[in-house]
Amino acid sequence: MSRTPDTLNLAVIQMHVTDQLQDNVARAEAHVRDAARAGAQVILLPELFENLYFCQVEREEYFELAHPLEGHPFIGRFQNLAQELGVVLPLSYFERAGQAHYNSLVCIDAGGAVLGNYRKTHIPDGPGYEEKYYFNPGDTGFKVWDTQFGRVGVGICWDQWYPETARALMLGGADFLLYPTAIGSEPEGVESPNNHSMWQRAMQGHAVSNSAYVGAANRIGTETVGDLTQTYYGHSFLADYTGEIVAELNEAEEGALTQTLNLKEARRFRAGMGFFRDRRPELYGSLMTLDGVTKRG
């Protein structure tokens, strides 16, 4: 494990997406370049930015969008970009591995090397978000990567609603938490639609209870897939280690949101709060069950 820097510049990118891979990849690259020019060292793109959010509907044809990590059609391009610009790029993509399909993310270090692959742990299944049709549950466990600019912990979209994800990443040594996202309106008839405030508050809670910076990158715009149309609500943001939102885009802005993270200050604050000192993992057995009943040997 390398020494964690005292500060770093983090950028989250908010962008619209079309059904053209090369168009999306070129726009994503342009945003990364803009963020790097603004001083960003770690740059997060939204979830599955390579295409429309196809999980609105269940169609066999969309499995053709998946590719193996080895020889992937655009990951190599972003490796070269990371090397050229000297930035860290946690990069979302649709992975095919044998007969399995995953909602995955690779972490590309500032030298261009792929540090590892994470497969989304929590897979949603609801109107307009039919991910269980496309994605196997992730089998990698939670991942924290030791990059040139600190230890990066990343969950993917639905993972961001789970306090277990954030805590596991922090216990794995993460200096800050990132969540690439594709989320917006619910189809008509959904009884309990969420909204961007609820979405943000969930992650602000992770920032508070882990005394850690949190960044989320969402898409914007209206997308029609099959017979469904959804509008993605943007509001990508950065929260500090007290849970305060310190930078935010609105529902229509496109571009990079950049903020300096004072990791040294966050470490001191985290130690002083005592959340990790006062944990009682020996009493958390029910968290290892589905029904809340601790299994005893």
Active site residues: 47, 120, 157
For the chain, first and last CA: distance in Å? 36
Residue 148 tokens read as 């040139």
Query: The tokens 């290892």 sit on which residue?
Result: 288
User: Are 263 and 2 in contact, with CB atoms under 8 Å apart?
Assistant: no
DSSP string, 163-225: HHHHHHHHHTT-SEEEEE---BPPPTT-SS---HHHHHHHHHHHHHHHT-EEEEE-EEEEEEE
- Of residues 182, 187, 154, 8, the one with CA closest to residue 86: 8
Which neighbouring-strand residues pair with 91?
106
Q: Give the angle 81-84-87 at the CA atoms, nearest 5°.
A: 70
Query: Left (φ > 0), alpha (ψ -120 to 50) or beta: where does 141 sit?
Result: left
